[in-house]
């Protein structure tokens, strides 16, 4: 496909209530949305990285600057056979995976629209609806925290994942397990521990968890392999899987028994699909993670979650509960039958199934740049 033009938007989305994060509490949420015009269609994508380098090394202002100053000018006016060809063209730029992912995913969306097929079908998805799980962080009170978890299970959430902050670990898990002794739970340390915390990590086997996500530092694949050999609880790698090569090393070392796939973090759908396929060949199940986003990024996650090896519920972020202004209407999450779990039905229209509201884009834009040959 020939990229004829690229529109880039740096957005600041107003919030209904503050959004907690690992290192800050956002009063508004910043994100980057791109529209790639190619072969008569327009593909959309989003880098939902937030206001600062808290959840990862990139953030919205940096992604926008990288795209407008370097990446978009390098590819506009050129033709690319697929995502691998695009990645090769962007290879001269180091890192910047979230920024590269925006272009990759928008090209996938444009390709699916040109074929007249929904993106999940183009990706080879085997599901028409996706099971959902919810994530909770520390709250104002113990009672509120336990109450929200109860509401999640009552609503049909397939699993609940708990963020493990310093000083918010074993006692919190003990309290949750007393209240919900048999419900499916997972925990996420976001790389906050080392092997010096082995005693704490061994204790996790007492709580019958689905998995413990990213307990150790991002690059410590050897440490993860040593820990996985010592504990029964499956380790799920998340931030460690920033590229296909990282997944290959993790599979060789047996660093974990679950993979969290996030297209933005890996540099796009092209790389995420490769990681999915390698994990499938090695009998390592995947699930699709996520976080705060304006809705465009969520569509890509749901499309990827339709793949065969994505066996565990995808992360679900209820955007309508947080954002006062939405770029597109969220897909409704609901139970399809009595006693069933919380699910979202996938769309049947081409690409990601919809486009952002242009008026909302203009209203929330901090900056807008058009890139043409």
What integer pLDDT is reported at residue 147 of this predicted model?
93
Per-residue pLDDT tens over the stretch 61-102:
999 999 999 999 999 999 999 999 999 999 999 999 999 999
Rounded Cα–Cα distance for residues 141 and 145 (Å)? 6
Average of pLDDT values for 180-187?
A: 96
What integer pLDDT is reported at residue 22 of this predicted model?
63
What integer pLDDT is reported at residue 320 of this predicted model?
83
CB 120 within 8 A of CB 302: yes
Confidence of residue 59 (pLDDT cuts 50, 70, 90): very high
Choose between 57 and 122: higher pLDDT: 122
Per-residue pLDDT tens over the stretch 252-303:
999 999 999 999 999 999 999 999 999 999 999 999 999 899 999 999 999 9
* Mean pLDDT of the chain, nearest integer: 93
Confidence of residue 24 (pLDDT cuts 50, 70, 90): low
Q: What is the pTM of this model?
A: 0.94
Average of pLDDT values for 356-371?
A: 95
What integer pLDDT is reported at residue 337 of this predicted model?
66
């Amino acid at each position: 496909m020939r990229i004829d033009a690229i529109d880039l938007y740096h957005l600041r989305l107003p919030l209904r209530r503050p959004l907690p994060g690992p290192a800050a509490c956002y009063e508004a949420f910043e994100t980057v949305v791109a529209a790639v015009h190619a072969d008569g269609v327009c593909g959309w994508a989003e880098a939902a990285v937030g206001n600062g380098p808290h959840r990862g090394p990139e953030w919205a202002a940096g992604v926008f600057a990288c795209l407008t100053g370097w990446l978009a000018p390098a590819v506009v006016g050129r033709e690319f056979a697929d995502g691998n060809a695009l990645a090769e063209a962007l290879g001269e730029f180091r890192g910047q995976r979230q920024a590269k992912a925006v272009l990759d995913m928008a090209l996938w969306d444009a390709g699916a629209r040109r074929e007249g097929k929904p993106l999940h079908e183009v990706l080879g998805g085997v599901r028409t609806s996706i099971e959902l799980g919810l994530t909770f962080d520390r709250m104002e009170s113990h009672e509120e925290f336990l109450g929200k978890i109860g509401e999640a299970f009552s609503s049909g959430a397939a699993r609940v994942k708990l963020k493990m902050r310093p000083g918010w670990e074993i006692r919190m898990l003990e309290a949750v397990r007393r209240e919900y002794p048999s419900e499916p739970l997972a925990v996420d340390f976001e790389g906050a521990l080392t092997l010096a915390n082995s005693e704490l990590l061994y204790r996790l086997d007492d709580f019958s968890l689905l998995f413990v996500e990213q307990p150790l530092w991002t690059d410590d694949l050897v440490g993860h392999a040593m820990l996985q050999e010592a504990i029964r609880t499956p380790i799920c790698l998340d931030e460690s899987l920033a590229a296909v090569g990282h997944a290959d090393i993790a599979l060789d070392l047996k660093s974990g028994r679950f993979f969290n796939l996030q297209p933005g973090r890996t540099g796009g759908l092209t790389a995420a699909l490769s990681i999915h396929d390698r994990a499938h060949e090695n009998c390592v199940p995947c699930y699709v993670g996520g976080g705060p986003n304006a809705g465009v990024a969520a569509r890509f996650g749901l499309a990827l979650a339709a793949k065969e090896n994505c066996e565990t519920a995808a992360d679900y972020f209820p955007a309508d509960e947080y954002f006062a202004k939405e770029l597109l209407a969220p897909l409704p999450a609901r139970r399809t039958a009595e006693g069933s779990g919380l699910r979202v039905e996938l769309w049947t229209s081409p690409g990601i199934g919809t486009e952002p509201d242009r008026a909302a884009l203009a209203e929330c834009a901090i900056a807008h740049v058009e890139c043409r040959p």
